[in-house]
Amino acid sequence: MIKKTKDLIQGKAPITAKRSGKWSRVRGIHLAHNPKCAICGGTAKLEVHHIIPFHVDPSQELEPSNLMTLCESASYGIVCHLLVGHLGNYRQFNPTCRVDAEIWKKKLLDAKIKKVNHVNNLQTH
């Protein structure tokens, strides 16, 4: 009940929304095929994100092309699901989150490479 109340405050699907009885199975299959966050590659606190939200178009709930794996772990200092999936506010949605996920994935990778290069330079000098 606490999670449902928290989700409601954050603007996630309303408590009264009825998921398909197939949702758990579809979610599990999606995570089996996409076991990492599409942005940071994390494996903790994963969410199966609906690009077009369930409350906007319930017919897209089980559509594989409408799903992507995003995390809530903040492993790089950002909550991928919140930032890219919802543009910083769970009451919003981002129809271009696949494109944005690729952009952020590259930014995080570039930052990681710069950090490694910086550490290597410090060690060689």
Alpha helices in 17-125 (DSSP H): 23-33, 80, 86, 97-124
3-state SS class at 123: helix
pLDDT digits (tens, 9 = 90+) for 100-116: 999 999 999 998 877 65
Please give the Cα distance from 104 to 122 (Å, whole number): 27
Are 54 and 87 in contact by the 8 Å Cβ rule? The answer is no
Looking at residue 4, its amino acid is: K
Please give the Cα distance from 50 to 57 (Å, whole number): 10
pLDDT digits (tens, 9 = 90+) for 33-78: 999 999 999 999 999 999 999 888 999 999 999 999 999 998 888 8
